[in-house]
Amino acid sequence: MTALLLGHDRLLADDAYITFRYARNLAAGHSLVYNLGEPVLGTSTPLFVLLLAAGARLGLDLPTLSVWLGALSWGGVVLLLARLWRNDPAWSFAPLLLVGTSVAFGDNLGMEAPLYALVCLAALLLAGSGRTIAAAFLAGVASVTRLDGGLVAAVLLLWLLARRRRLPWRETLVVLAVAAPWYAYAWNAYGSPLPQSLQAKAGLAHSLGFGGG
């Protein structure tokens, strides 16, 4: 871990620098864009951009801040997995998850992956312990941490629906209260909440005949 923190400039994922540029522009008082005057959504992690932008406003170095956010998030994952392993023998595979998260942290240095893992795991634990409102809040957070976090929210709400045999209205409203502002902003500012890279990949897949039709 010390080696990672001391040598992060050589180890940061390439996509991290895209996130840094969005954060710097936002911190400087511009909109959430890569190039000024070009409303293109090129980041898939709006929450992480906002956290970094807040740090930039405080004068913090973004590469260092991103690594520390990842390290603290990974530490939280370690603590949660250790708690699972200690309290429930059914989680005897938790050490394997720990190894997997450590590899993911190293491979995604400077990115949102550790934070995303922490939020998703915490949401799972809260739901399992019956604290479904808090779990719904974190599921909403996951939805703005990464686009595929919407699946976390969907799974949680479907699980509650199957368990209660009625619509989980309160949890649904909590998820929407957290996630809807970002998606509404993205639709208005960019025309879609999907990052440009994902739209390009979808277009390529369709042109190659993988989109049906």
3-state secondary structure of 189: helix
pLDDT at 12: 79
Residue 50 domain-assigned (yes or no): yes
pLDDT band for position 91 (cuts 50, 70, 90):
low
**Residue 40 CA neighbour count, 13 Å, CB half:** 13
**Structural domain includes residue 63:** yes
Residues 6+ apart with CB under 8 A from 110: 8, 12, 13, 16, 19, 63, 66, 67, 70
Q: How many domains does the chain have?
A: 1
In a domain, 41, yes or no: yes
Residue 137 in any domain: the answer is yes
Quick check: is 213 in a domain?
no
Q: Are 94 and 81 in contact (CB under 8 A)?
A: yes
Residue 160 falls inside a structural domain: yes
Asked whether residue 85 carries a pLDDT value surpassing 80, the answer given is: no
Taking only the tens place, the pLDDT of each residue in 140-193 is 999 999 989 999 999 999 999 999 999 999 999 999 999 999 999 999 999 988
Please check whether residue 212 lies inside any domain of the structure: no
Q: Which domain holds residue 201?
A: 2-207
Let me know if residue 117 belongs to a domain.
yes
Indicate if the alpha-carbon torsion angle 9, 10, 13, 17 is positive or negative. positive
Distances (CA, A) of 17 to 43, 99, 109, 158, 211: 10, 26, 11, 36, 31
Output 115 or 91, whichever has higher pLDDT: 115
